[in-house]
Amino acid sequence: MLLAIDIGNTDIVFGVNDDQQWIHQFRISSSFSQRSQDYEAQLRLLFLENSLKLSDIHQIIVSCVVPDLRAIIKDMSVTMFGIQPMMVGPEMYDKLNMEILSPYEIGTDLVCNATYAYYTYQQTCLVVDFGTALTFTVVSGEGKILGVSIAPGLKTAVKSLFSNTAQLPEVPLSMPESAIGTNTVHAIQAGILWGYVGMVKEMIYQIKLEVGQECKVLATGGLSSILTPLRSEFDEVDKTLTLNGLKIIASL
Q: pLDDT higher for 56 or 167?
A: 56
Per-residue pLDDT reduced to its tens digit, 136-151: 999 999 999 999 999 9
pLDDT of residue 180: 94
Per-residue pLDDT reduced to its tens digit, 212-244: 989 999 999 877 788 889 999 999 999 999 999
Catalytic annotation, residues: 109
pLDDT of residue 178: 93
- Provide, for the chain, the percentages of residues in helix, strand and coil under a 3-state DSSP scheme, each rounded to the nearest 5: 45, 25, 35
**Mean pLDDT over residues 111-126, rounded?**
97
DSSP 83-110: --PEEPSGGGGGGGTSB-SSTTTS-HHH
Checking DSSP bridges between strand 59-64 and strand 86-87, what pairing results, if any? parallel
pLDDT of residue 12: 95
pLDDT band at 168 (very low <50, low <70, confident <90, very high): low
Q: What percent of the chain has pLDDT over 70?
A: 97
pLDDT band at 160 (very low <50, low <70, confident <90, very high): confident
Cα separations (Å) of 250 from 56, 86, 139? 17, 8, 20
b/e sequence 66-75, b meaning 16+ C-beta within 10 Å: eeebbebbbb
Dihedral sign from CA coordinates of 136, 249, 71, 219: positive
Per-residue pLDDT reduced to its tens digit, 62-116: 999 999 999 999 999 999 999 999 999 999 999 999 999 899 999 999 999 999 9
Q: Does the predicted model carry a pTM greater than 0.75?
A: yes
Measure the CA–CA gap between 79 and 72, rounded to whole angstroms.
11
SS3 for 14?
A: strand
Mean pLDDT of all residues belonging to the chain: 93
**Mean pLDDT over residues 37-48, rounded?**
95
**Mean pLDDT over residues 172-194, rounded?**
90
Measure the CA–CA gap between 155 and 175, rounded to whole angstroms.
13
CA angle at 104 for the pair 212 and 148, rounded to the nearest 5°? 25
Closest by CA to 123, choosing from 249, 216, 203, 205, is 216
Cα separations (Å) of 182 from 5, 172, 187? 42, 16, 6
Task: Tell me which H or E stretch contains 46.
Answer: helix 36-49
